[in-house]
Chains A and B, each alone.
Chain A
Amino acid sequence: MSGVLLWAWALTLPGLVLTGLGVGRRPGSASLAGPGVLLVVAVTWLLGSRTAAELRQVDWLPFLPDGAFHLRGDALAAVMLAVLGFVSLCVYVYSLAYMADEPPAGQRRFFMYLDFFVASMAILVLAGNLAVLLIGWAGVGLASFLLISFWLDRPGTLGAGLQALAANAVGDAALLVAIVLVPAGCGDLLTLQTPACLAVPGGARLTASLLLVAAAAKSAQGPLYFWLPSAMAGPTPISALIHAATMVAAGVYLLVRTNALLAAAPPVAVATAALGVATALGGGLASLQQANFKRGLAYSTVSQLGYMFAGVGFGAPFAAIFHLVTHASFKALLFLSAGVVIHARDGEEELAALGGLRRALPGAYAAFLVGSLALVGLPGLSGALSKDAILDAGEQANLLLAVCLFGGTFLTGLYIGRLFFGVFHGPRPDEQPIHHPSPLLLWPLVPLAVGAVVAGYLEWPAGLLSSALGETAGHAEPVRFASPFGFFAGLLGVFGFALSGWRGREQAAEPVRVGTDAGWVGAVARRGYGLADRLAAIHSGRLGRYALASVFGIAIILLIGLRA
C-alpha cells in the first residue's frame, strides 16, 4: 500500500487525459475517479500499516546540492492527501453542476486544470526534498493562475491571475534560493533529520527566513496577502478548493515539515507567530470592510491561515496541521454554499444585492450556518477544538500574541456573522428570480458539513490524529484542553456572531467604512495605502529599471554566495 501512496500524484493523470480526449457522457466525469482513488489510497494507508515509503532516484539534477528525485510517503503526507482527496472529490462533483452552463470545451479545460492542480499538490505533499517540492510548488501556482483567469473574457480575471503569479514568484524565488543554500544531504530537511542541515552557511536563521518568505507568499500572509482576495475572480469551486482548503495551506505545510529548522532559529519562530497574529487580526478587520461576498470569505481565509502560522510559530506544528484539516473542511463548505447562492442569483456577488435568501435556499442556509459556527468555534464543533489547540500552545509560548489571537476570535464572529445575516436574513433587496440549485450542487455540501462538525473529534478525546502523525509533524502531543482559554474564545466568537445578527441585516450588509473619523484603524489603513502607492511606483513597467535592479541583486548574491 505504501508504494501506491508514493505514486498517488499520478492518479489524476488518467482522468486528465481522458477528459482531454472527451471521454464520458458529461465533460469532466472521467476525471472524478482521480480524487476518489486518492482519498481511498490515503485513508487505507492511514488505517493500515502506516509504513513510510521512500523513492530516491539519485542523479537527477546533479547541479543542485540536493537534486535527487526523492519522494517520501509518510503520515503527514497521507493526512494531507486525505484532506486533498476529500475536498477535491466534493469540489469535482459540485463543479459538474456549477460549470454545466459552460460550453463543453470550457468544461473539459476546467477539469483538466483541476486534475493538473491535484497532481501538482500531491507532488508537493509527497516531496522528499526541497527540489521536488518546488516542482509541485510551481505547479500549483501555475494551476492557480490558470483557474483564476479561467473566464478570460470577464474583466479583471487576467489581472487577478497575474497578481497571484506575481506573489507566487516571490515565494518561488525565496524557495529557490533556499534550495541552493541548503547543503547536500539536507533534503532531509523535509524529514526532520536536520542536525546536518543546521550547519548551513549563515545558519539556520537565513534558511528559515527564506522558507518563511516562501510560505508567506503561498499562504497570503503579511504584506503578501494581496493576491488572495483578487483570486476570487475565479470560479467559486476553485476558490473553495485552491484558495481556501488546499493550495494556500501549502505554506503552512512547508513550515510544518521544516519546523525543526524553525525551532533552531527562535527569532524566526517569533517572527512567524507575530506575522500570523498580525495577519489573523488584519484579515478579520479587512473582511468587515468588504462589499463583496466572496472577498469577505477570502479575507476570512487569510485570517485563518494566520492562525495556522501562529501555531507553527508557537512551536506547535501539530496544532497548525490540526487547524489546517478542520479549516479545509469548513471553509470549503462555506465557499461551496456561497457558490450555491451566487449560482442561484446568476453570478451576483455584491452583498448589497443579496439578502433574505433563507427561505429560498434552505440547503445553502443550513450549510453556511454549520460552516460559520464551526469557523467561529462554537464549543464542540471542529473549529473550536483546533483553534483551542493553537491558543493553548500560544498561552505557553507567547502570552501577548496569544491574547491578541484570542481577541481575534471576536472579529471572526463579527465578520462571518455579518456575511451570514447579510445574505440569508432580513428582507430581499429586490425580486430577482432565483434558480433552484440542482441536487448535484447540494449533495457535496453534506460530507463537508459532516466534516465541519466532526473533524475535531479525529483528535479529541482519543488523540487519533496526533498518534497517526507521530513525529512527522514535530512532537505532537494529544490535545488536552487544559485551560478554559479556548472555550472562552469560542464563546467570544459566538457572541460576535450574535452581535452581527442583532445589528440587523441593513447595517450588516453595509461595509464598515474606513472613514476619516474611524480612529486608528483608518489611520493605519491610510498609511498602508500610502505605502502601497509608493511601493507600486517601483513597478513602473520600465524594463531598464528591472534589469538594473536584477544585475545589482545578482552582484550582491554573488558576493555573499561566493565568499562564503
Chain B
Amino acid sequence: MSELFLPLAVGCAVALVSGLAVVLARRPVHSVVGLLVHSLAIASLFLLLAADLVAIGQVLIYSGAIVVLFLFVIALLPAGGAEGPIGSGRALSAVLAAGALLAALAAGLSASLPAATGRSVGGVEAIGRSLFGPLVVPFELTAPLLLVAIVGAVAIWRRQEQAP
C-alpha cells in the first residue's frame, strides 16, 4: 500500500482543505465550489481504495446532481443567500463541539485498527450481489425514500405558493 500513500495523502489533504473552504467561505457560491472540489477529491479517494463503482456514482450524483442543485438554489436566492453575522460565542461553541466529536472519534477509533488484507474487492457484479443479497431491505427502502422526498419537496413548494 506504500506506493498508494502519496496519492492518498494528496487526496485527503485536498478533501480536508476544500471541506474547510465549504464551512468557512462567506459567500455560498464559494462554498459550492468548495463542495465540488471536495466531492471530486472524495471520488478520487474512492478510486484509490478500489471502489470504482462508488467513485463513478459519487461523480455522477454528487458532482453532477447535488452540486448543480445547490448552485441552482443559490442562484434563486435573493442576495445570493447572504448570511447574518456570526457571533464569537457561536464560533466558540461550534469549535468546541466539533473538537469534542473529534476527540471522541479519535478515542474510539484508535483502539480498533484492523490490519489491511491484501485482497482488493470490487466490481459491479459483487456489489450487485451484495445489494440484492444481504442489503436488499435497505436497498428497497431507498425507493420509497426517494419517492417521499420528491413528493415532499413538491408539497413544501406548493404550500408556499398558496399562502404567500
A559 touches B108 (CB 8 A): yes
Q: A562–B106 Cα gap in the complex (Å)? A: 10
B98 touches A563 (CB 8 A): no
B90 touches A551 (CB 8 A): no
Q: Which of A45-85 contact B (CB under 8 A)?
A: 59-62
**What sequence of 0s and 1s flags, for each residue 161-195 of chain A, a beta carbon within 8 Å of any chain B beta carbon?**
00000000000000000000000000000000000
Centre residue among A62, A554, A558 by max chain B CB count within 10 A: A558
A555 touches B90 (CB 8 A): no
A555 touches B101 (CB 8 A): yes
A561 touches B103 (CB 8 A): no
Instruction: Confirm or deny: A519 has a beta carbon within 8 angstroms of a beta carbon on chain B.
Output: no
B90 proximity list for chain A (CB < 8 A): 544
A548 touches B93 (CB 8 A): yes
Within 8 Å by CB of B107, from A544, A548, A563, lies A563
B97 touches A562 (CB 8 A): no
Instruction: Confirm or deny: A556 has a beta carbon within 8 angstroms of a beta carbon on chain B.
Output: yes
A60 touches B137 (CB 8 A): yes
Given contacts A558-B108, A561-B108, contact A62 B134 (CB under 8 A): yes
Q: A445–B105 Cα gap in the complex (Å)? A: 59
Q: A516–B74 Cα gap in the complex (Å)? A: 57
Instruction: Confirm or deny: A552 has a beta carbon within 8 angstroms of a beta carbon on chain B.
Output: yes
A552 touches B100 (CB 8 A): yes
Instruction: Confirm or deny: B104 has a beta carbon within 8 angstroms of a beta carbon on chain A.
Output: yes
B103 proximity list for chain A (CB < 8 A): 555
A548 touches B97 (CB 8 A): yes
Q: A201–B44 Cα gap in the complex (Å)? A: 40
Which of the four size classes fits the interface of chain A? 10 to 19
Instruction: Confirm or deny: B111 has a beta carbon within 8 angstroms of a beta carbon on chain A.
Output: yes
CB closest residue in chain A, given B112: A562
Within 8 Å by CB of B101, from A59, A551, A561, lies A551
CB closest residue in chain B, given A60: B137
Centre residue among B97, B103, B109 by max chain A CB count within 10 A: B97
A555 touches B93 (CB 8 A): no
B137 touches A555 (CB 8 A): no
A556 touches B134 (CB 8 A): no
Min CB distance B84 to A, Å, is 12
A59 touches B134 (CB 8 A): yes
Number of CB contacts from chain A to chain B under 8 A: 39
**What sequence of 0s and 1s flags, for each residue 519-563 of chain A, a beta carbon within 8 Å of any chain B beta carbon?**
000000000000000000000000010001001101110110111
Q: A548–B97 Cα gap in the complex (Å)? A: 7
Within 8 Å by CB of A562, from B100, B101, B104, lies B104
Q: Which of B51-106 contact A (CB under 8 A)?
A: 90, 93-94, 97-98, 100-101, 103-105
CB closest residue in chain A, given B99: A555
B101 proximity list for chain A (CB < 8 A): 551, 554-555, 558
A554 proximity list for chain B (CB < 8 A): 101, 104
CB closest residue in chain A, given B133: A59
**What sequence of 0s and 1s flags, for each residue 115-148 of chain B, a beta carbon within 8 Å of any chain A beta carbon?**
0000000000000000000110100000000000
A562 touches B111 (CB 8 A): yes
A561 proximity list for chain B (CB < 8 A): 108
A61 proximity list for chain B (CB < 8 A): 137
Within 8 Å by CB of A551, from B100, B109, B111, lies B100
B137 touches A562 (CB 8 A): no
Which of the four size classes fits the interface of chain B? 10 to 19
Q: A562–B109 Cα gap in the complex (Å)? A: 7
Q: A548–B91 Cα gap in the complex (Å)? A: 11
Q: A563–B111 Cα gap in the complex (Å)? A: 8
Q: Which of B9-53 contact A (CB under 8 A)?
A: none
A551 proximity list for chain B (CB < 8 A): 97-98, 100-101
A558 touches B134 (CB 8 A): no
B100 proximity list for chain A (CB < 8 A): 551-552, 555
Given contacts A59-B134, A60-B137, A544-B90, contact A555 B108 (CB under 8 A): no
CB closest residue in chain A, given B100: A555
A559 touches B97 (CB 8 A): no
B105 proximity list for chain A (CB < 8 A): 558
Given contacts A551-B101, A555-B101, contact A562 B134 (CB under 8 A): no
Given contacts A59-B134, A62-B134, A563-B111, contact A556 B98 (CB under 8 A): no
Within 8 Å by CB of B108, from A544, A548, A563, lies A563
Q: A388–B90 Cα gap in the complex (Å)? A: 57
Within 8 Å by CB of A558, from B93, B104, B135, B137, lies B104
Q: A203–B52 Cα gap in the complex (Å)? A: 44
Centre residue among A62, A554, A555, A559 by max chain B CB count within 10 A: A555
B137 proximity list for chain A (CB < 8 A): 60-61
A544 proximity list for chain B (CB < 8 A): 90
Min CB distance A56 to B, Å, is 15
Centre residue among B93, B104, B135 by max chain A CB count within 10 A: B104
Q: A554–B100 Cα gap in the complex (Å)? A: 9
Min CB distance A66 to B, Å, is 15
Q: A558–B93 Cα gap in the complex (Å)? A: 19
Min CB distance B107 to A, Å, is 6
Q: A264–B94 Cα gap in the complex (Å)? A: 42
Q: A561–B109 Cα gap in the complex (Å)? A: 11
B98 touches A562 (CB 8 A): no
Given contacts A554-B101, A555-B100, contact A562 B108 (CB under 8 A): yes
Q: A555–B94 Cα gap in the complex (Å)? A: 13
Q: A559–B108 Cα gap in the complex (Å)? A: 6
B108 proximity list for chain A (CB < 8 A): 558-559, 561-563
B104 touches A555 (CB 8 A): yes
B111 touches A555 (CB 8 A): no
Q: A544–B93 Cα gap in the complex (Å)? A: 10
Q: A60–B108 Cα gap in the complex (Å)? A: 27
Q: A556–B108 Cα gap in the complex (Å)? A: 11
Min CB distance B134 to A, Å, is 5
Q: A558–B135 Cα gap in the complex (Å)? A: 25
B107 touches A559 (CB 8 A): yes
Q: A217–B107 Cα gap in the complex (Å)? A: 33
CB closest residue in chain A, given B93: A548
Given contacts A555-B104, A562-B109, 5 further A-B pairs with CB under 8 A are A548-B93, A555-B97, A558-B104, A559-B104, A559-B107
- Please name the 6 residue pairs, one residue from A and one from B, whose CB atoms are nearest each other, closest first: A562-B108, A558-B104, A555-B104, A555-B100, A551-B97, A559-B104
Chain B interfacial positions (CB closer than 8 Å to A): 90, 93-94, 97-98, 100-101, 103-105, 107-109, 111, 134-135, 137
CB pairs A–B below 8 angstroms (5 shown): A548-B94, A554-B104, A559-B107, A559-B108, A562-B109
Chain A interfacial positions (CB closer than 8 Å to B): 59-62, 544, 548, 551-552, 554-556, 558-559, 561-563
